[in-house]
Structure 1
Amino acid sequence: MANNNQLITQGMEFGELTKEDITTIRQTLAKDCNDSQFKLFMSIAKSSGANPVMNEIYPAVRSGQLTVQFAVEYFVRKAKESPGYSGHDVQLVHDNDEFKMHQEQDEEGRYYAVIDEHSWAFPRGKVIGGYAIAYREDKKPFTVVMEVDEVEHFKKSNIGMQKTMWTNYFNDMFKKHMLRRALKAAYELNYDDEVTVGESQGSNDNDEFQRNRRDITPNQDVIEHGSQQNDNPEPQQEQKPSKIDQLKDQMRTLFTQLGITTNDGIKDYLKKHAPDANPGTQKGLIAINQLLETNLEMLQAQASNDDALD
């Protein structure tokens, strides 16, 4: 067993992570992952520069599906490494607080929020909202202002850990959620730009790893032909949709859930995140859909931090 663990963790060191660190990660944070999922998780961690030991990234396995989650600590570090970083602030607003804000418009016509007053005394009452501010040199402060109603749905999440964290540690989770949003917007920290999900170091590991692969990049043919299918609503007589057609339909649905609804938007996304996939094959479409599903789960998981999670 020891030799098998050494083989699994071999060659996964990066940054300050040692072989011993990788073994510890395998036995603790990633104890629910199978070997293929662990390799995939460490590949994402390495390509994004997120350190599992520092609680910046960790894996979650739900119903056999791997979800890679980034903590707010990752975005804080990336913001601090960005040019012009000048700090950040995050506060909760309670129903007994004095709170006032307004919007202003910058030179380019974009609106931004300005906090005029936030003062309080005890007892403060229930949390009703909050705000996070990201400061950057030569830029207007970027402020995220939210009401509690906007995040109540996380308490009803079907992701067990996310529901637990938001129910038991609501104030902390709410602050992390707002801060992540502010930092990502102010410093253009899009995790899609950081994460590259590639092949394993042995391209023929096993069938399970192949199911978890994210090769990505359908060419223009998939996008254009996929969008044309809806132009003919008449079903074919006595013929069930092919597996590839079903996968294309699934791909379009996933893009819609990500908020990408135009052909140009889809093309740009795939060009950026999928340089090697073969869209003419069932395997290639499966890989594309797996990437989209992972991105959707990351978006949901990130809101839970400790992280679904942003």
Structure 2
Amino acid sequence: MSNNALMLTPEIQEAFKPEVINVMRSSLAPTANDAEFVLFAHKAASYGLDPFKNEIFFIKYGSTARIQFAAEAYLSKAREQEGFEPPDTQMVHENDEFKIAKNAETKELEVIKHEIGFPRGKIIGAYSIAYRKGYRPVTVIMDIDEVAHMFTGQNKDNWNKWTQDMFGKHVQQRALKRQYGLEFEDETITHGEGENTIPEYKPRKDITPNQEILDAPTNHGTNEEDPQLAQAKKEMQAKFKRLGITGKVAKQNYIKDHAPQIGDNPTYQELVGLLDIMDMHIDMKEMQSSDDDDVLE
């Protein structure tokens, strides 16, 4: 669709030339509908972020879209603040000599010693110190266990291959947010259940999941159930745990809300569709984790 047909905001028109908007639409948000793309472009323009520098992303899962701000966005905006100084972000390895202590005056944890030698061993943690002239440094320290979910989530390939870079950006983002008062609002757009949310479902009158689904065995050595089906049920229970959904009623309600076509005898294909939706919700939960963690600090 041409830019003339899009209801572009003044911010978008001021920030991006028409040819740039065309490239954004075709290469950075090809799955976005008109409204989603305009919102994506408007947020990029309003915050002064460059989507081509991976400062802001558009992500689409079925009928759900998400506009996600990257760690680079925080560093870019921090540079524009008065008194900016580059942050110091480091990995802590298992053979490093590393000590932290609480500052008696500020009551905050600070790194008091970090010495390295070789071999350094595996990465066990990271920290970032956000400096700013006229302000006390802000230090964020994280154990690698706090980001364990990232190594199995939607961006797991990058986290496993580029652990130092990904972990460093993650902890640095949190430090910059606190030091410079930066806060970007990620946007999740849900249009309801789309046609392709659950593939190849057959309509059923009974939309309440049978208790047999929720009580699925974790092994299949005592019955003649299809091994693939049993494994899918096992994975479903594991994903419920990752989503923090416990109890039979809560699980029934989740299935009823997101996969109402599933009845008392689900097919393997139906469970695969449900698992895809659960993966989407797990991924979106993980994307929000860094923002949610700041509330606890």
The structure 2 residue matched to 1:131, chosen from 127, 130, 139, is 127
TM superposition shift of 1:175 = 0.5
Q: Contact between 2:15 and 2:45, CA under 8 Å: does it hold in 1?
A: no
Aligned to 2:159: 166
Residue 61 (structure 2) aligns with: 62
- How has the CA–CA distance of structure 1 residues 127 and 297 changed in structure 2, closer, same or farther, with 3 Å as cutoff? same
Offset from partner CA, 1:13-57 (integer Å, 9 cap, x none): 355521111111111011121222212211222222222123211
Name 1:300's counterpart in structure 2. 287
In the alignment, the residues of structure 2 paired with residue 131 and residue 163 of structure 1 have an alpha-carbon distance, to the nearest angstrom, of 21
Question: How far apart, CA to CA, are the structure 2 residues paired with 1:188 and 1:126?
Answer: 33
CA distance in 1: counterparts of 2:190 and 2:167, whole angstroms: 37
State how far apart, in whole Å, the 1-side matches of 2:14 and 2:49 are: 9
Q: 2: distance between equivalents of 1:119 and 1:81?
A: 32
Q: In the superposition, relative to structure 1, how do residues 174 and 116 fare at CA in structure 2: closer, same or farther (>3 Å)?
A: same
Structure 2 Cα separation of the partners of residues 153 and 196 of structure 1: 21
Unaligned runs of 5+ in 2: 193-243, 245-280, 292-297
Counterpart position of 1:24: 23
Checking the alignment, whether the CA contact within 8 Å between 1:9 and 1:19 is kept in structure 2 is: no
> Structure 2 length as normaliser, TM-score?
0.60
Change (3 A) 1:97 1:172: same
The worse-fitting range, judged by mean Cα deviation, of 26-35 and 175-184 is 26-35
Of the three residues 157, 162, 168, the one matched with 1:175 is 168
Question: Is residue 48 of structure 1 aligned with residue 47 of structure 2?
Answer: yes
Per-residue displacement from partner, 1:255-289 (whole Å, max 9, x unpaired)? xx9xxxxxxxxxxxxxxxxxxxxxxxxxxxxxxxx
What's the offset of the Cα at 1:10? 6.5
The equivalent of 2:236 in structure 1 is none
TM-score of the two chains, using structure 1 as the length reference: 0.58
Report what 1:287 is aligned to.
none
* Identity over aligned pairs, percent: 34
- Taking only aligned residues, the RMSD between alpha carbons, in angstroms, comes to 3.0
The answer (yes or no) to whether the contact 2:89–2:127 under 8 Å persists in 1 is: yes
In 1, are the aligned partners of 2:129 and 2:138 still within 8 Å (CA)?
A: yes
- Aligned residues, how many? 201
Residue 3 of structure 2: aligned partner: 6
Measure, in 2, the Cα distance between the counterparts of 1:45 and 1:302: 22
Query: In the alignment, what sits opposite 1:101?
Result: 100
Residue 86 of structure 2 aligns to a residue whose secondary structure is strand
Contact 1:133 1:179 (8 Å CA) reproduced: yes
The CA distance in 1 between the partners of 2:146 and 2:41, in whole Å, is 33
Whole-angstrom distance in 2 between the partners of 1:302 and 1:79 = 21
Alignment of 1:234-253 (within 5 A): none
1:67–1:298 CA contact under 8 A, matched in 2? no
Amino acid aligned to 2:165:
D
Say which SS state the counterpart of residue 21 (structure 1) adopts.
Answer: helix
- Distance (Å, rounded) in 1 between the aligned partners of 2:161 and 2:117: 24
Give 3-state SS (helix, strand or coil) of 1:87's partner: coil
1:145 corresponds in structure 2 to 141
Could you say what secondary structure the match of 1:102 adopts? strand
Q: Residues 58 and 65 of structure 2 are in contact (CA less than 8 Å); yes or no, is this contact kept in structure 1?
A: yes
Query: Conserved in 2, the CA contact under 8 Å of 1:9 and 1:23?
Result: no
Matched position secondary structure for 2:164: helix
Task: Give the match for residue 196 of structure 2.
Answer: none
Distance 1:125 1:115 in 2: 20
Distance 1:15 1:53 in 2: 17
Structure 1: any 5+ residue segments left out of the alignment? 198-208, 213-256, 258-293, 305-310
Q: How far apart, CA to CA, are the structure 1 residues paired with 2:19 and 2:289?
A: 28
Distance between the aligned counterparts of 2:128 and 2:78, measured in 1? 14
Q: Check if 1:117 corresponds to 2:104.
A: no
